Amino acid sequence: MKTKSKFNLFGASAAEIKKLLTDLGEPAFREKQIRHWIYVKRVLEIEQMTNLSKSLREKLQDACEVRPPLNYERHLSRDGSIKFVFHLEAGGDVEAVYMPMTKGVTMCLSSQVGCAQACSFCMTAQMGFIRNLTPAEIVGQAFVIAREMELNDPFNIVMMGMGEPLLNLNNLTKSLDHFVDALGLNLSPRRITVSTSGHVRNLLKLGEYPRLPRIAVSLNATTDEQRNHLMPVNLKWNIEALLAACRRLPIPPRERITLEYVLIEGLNDSPADAKRLVRLVANLRCKINLIPFNETPELEYKQPALPVIERFQEILNRSKILNTVRWSKGRDIGAACGQLATPIAKRGPNLRVG
């Protein structure tokens, strides 16, 4: 019978599994076979890991289990994206979004239950911070979605769901290990994007990760006054400090850092903003994702009219700043950028469950 106290092989690092095997009096190299069964063959029953001896399987069944987050529900959007709401065994709900794109599948994953960063345009901020996700819970979102959707081709991961990934740096890097390992999800680091609100100290620490993923920084403003209002993290690390850190990151040749810029009507969408943005990103190898704000009844901000968005983009184009306008998927199911939040901590009678 399964009990919660058993060691969870899912999400455990190679070193942790080796230690377990050594403690069980077994050769440490079996760790590779175990991870191959779990992540490559997607087998969750130890009994079915048939190239392990019967006696090892029996020992493993006594001591551990393979337990990704399997308690979830799905919400299907008209645009084909699917929001997965995971009800976590250790408490709390998190959301991940499956998005079929023209060039394959992208998954948007969460790193925390809630978030402490208090960005004023974001529904997750309304939850406050509840807890960090474990590697099993972070990797589990991708694993479960890949298994459920029967994905066999490589997919893209964006750490842009609930939470500030860099405030869960230890578990984030352990999850990155699983994402890129040949006996994990076997994804190229170029398929993984870690997005941050601008936690400069941990951004520079992430820069030391040996298989650096793509980096996205949520900028959203061109003056500190604007950004302080939108993103309180700016009070600690302002725009200048943030962009200086971006310039120090060891971004591989031919790669660019992504700057996310949520366009909000009357707040950061003027031609003057566009021109300041051009000046701010001078000499930074970047591309800018313009994200028209996704309106929700709970937040007062509005999406700019299309001509305003086009005018902003035109100013970037004239200065040869690489950019795209990203229209979010999953708006009808509350799965678009800035809309992720679970009912557990929603406040007020009008707050919407996606």
In DSSP terms, 228 is beta-bridged to none
Query: Is 294 annotated for ligand binding?
Result: yes
The whole-angstrom separation of Cα 175 and Cα 142 is 10
The CA radius of gyration of the chain, in Å to the nearest whole number, is: 21
Query: Is 119 annotated for ligand binding?
Result: yes
3-state secondary structure (DSSP) of residue 271: helix
Q: How far is the CB of 81 from ligand SF4 (least distance, A)?
A: 18
Query: Is 246 annotated for ligand binding?
Result: no
Residue located via tokens 């939040």: 341
Considering beta carbons, is residue 88 or 115 the nearer one to ligand SF4? 115
Considering beta carbons, is residue 108 or 180 the nearer one to ligand SF4? 108
Q: How far is the CB of 64 from ligand SF4 (least distance, A)?
A: 33
Q: How far is the CB of 143 from ligand SF4 (least distance, A)?
A: 22
Query: Is 220 annotated for ligand binding?
Result: yes
Considering beta carbons, is residue 9 or 290 the nearer one to ligand SF4? 290
Q: How far is the CB of 35 from ligand SF4 (least distance, A)?
A: 30
Q: Which helix (H) or strand (E) holds 179?
A: helix 169-180
Query: Is 163 annotated for ligand binding?
Result: yes
The whole-angstrom separation of Cα 24 and Cα 77 is 47
The whole-angstrom separation of Cα 4 and Cα 71 is 14
* DSSP for residue 125: G
**What distances in angstroms separate CA 339 from CA 17, 80, 352, one per listed residue?**
37, 17, 9
Tell how many helices (H) and how many strands (E) occur in the chain: 10, 14
Count CB-CB contacts under 10 A for residue 90.
12
| Residues making contact with ligand SF4 (CB under 6 A) | 115, 117-119, 122, 124-125, 162-164, 197
Considering beta carbons, is residue 148 or 298 the nearer one to ligand SF4? 298
Considering beta carbons, is residue 212 or 262 the nearer one to ligand SF4? 262
- State the sign of the Cα–Cα–Cα–Cα dihedral 15, 17, 19, 22: negative
Query: Is 218 annotated for ligand binding?
Result: yes
The whole-angstrom separation of Cα 132 and Cα 59 is 31
Strands 72-76 and 82-87: antiparallel
Closest CA to 334 of 346, 342, 323, 325: 342
Considering beta carbons, is residue 8 or 117 the nearer one to ligand SF4? 117
Q: How far is the CB of 340 from ligand SF4 (least distance, A)?
A: 7
**What distances in angstroms separate CA 228 from CA 150, 224, 231, 238, 274, one per listed residue?**
43, 6, 5, 8, 18
Q: Would you name the residues annotated as active-site residues?
A: 95, 337
Strands 93-101 and 82-87: antiparallel
The whole-angstrom separation of Cα 300 and Cα 258 is 27
Query: Is 115 annotated for ligand binding?
Result: yes
Query: Is 108 annotated for ligand binding?
Result: no
Q: How far is the CB of 48 from ligand SF4 (least distance, A)?
A: 38
What residues form the annotated binding site for S-adenosyl-L-methionine? 163-164, 195, 218-220, 294
What residues form the annotated binding site? 115, 119, 122, 163-164, 195, 218-220, 294
What residues form the annotated binding site for [4Fe-4S] cluster? 115, 119, 122
